[in-house]
Amino acid sequence: MKELQTNTFPEFITAGRKVVEFSADWCIDCKRILPDLPEIENTFSSTFDFAMIDVDESQEVAQQFQVKGIPTFIVFENGKEVGRLPSRNAKTKEQVVTFLRELE
């Protein structure tokens, strides 16, 4: 999965349908979902481009999108947020897959 920085984030979300996971190295739930991300990305690769951004390294972006807990998955379409799976609902592969299927 592509890793974004504060300066690469705006360009990534500008065009098309994008899924960005807001996470951090220390986050237990982020580590728990990490092994499932390649499969999720592969399953939805015809619909979405995927990336992750570290909330500690890119605090301005996390604040801009009011990310309160991690992992949080935000779906963008041509730069606009069209869906959000907050951390309380992003604990399992099944929760992430169900969320993305609703936005396909």
Is position 27 annotated as part of the catalytic site?
yes
Is 84 within 8 Å of 75 (Cβ atoms)? yes
Strand partners, 68: none
Q: How many CB atoms lie within 10 A of CB 11?
A: 10
Is 78 within 8 Å of 41 (Cβ atoms)? no
Catalytic residue among 27, 33, 61, 85: 27
Catalytic residue among 30, 61, 67, 85: 30
Is position 29 annotated as part of the catalytic site?
no
Looking at the annotation, which residues are catalytic? Answer: 27, 30
